[in-house]
Structure 1
């Protein structure tokens, strides 16, 4: 069975995306593939 992919995106890969990733893994284990890129915005 192919995993559904989830994208968590926030600036500088700060705590929000890391907490969301941890919560998803805690609730659903390896049922989902995760993409957690680091986004750096230019000013």
Structure 2
């Protein structure tokens, strides 16, 4: 069982990354790491 990180489940985070990575700047890819993404308002 996966733990939640920052109160966000891994499925929600992965869905966010898949939806955004195509247009994401390569020099900011670290901003997509689970501990950097704030999905609490979504």
Give the TM-score of the pair, scaled to structure 1.
0.37
Higher strand proportion, which one? 1
Which TM-score applies when normalising by structure 2? 0.38
User: Taking CA–CA contacts closer than 8 Å with sequence separation of 6 or more, which of the two structures ends up with the larger relative contact order?
Assistant: 1
Where is the helix percentage greater, Structure 1 or Structure 2? 2
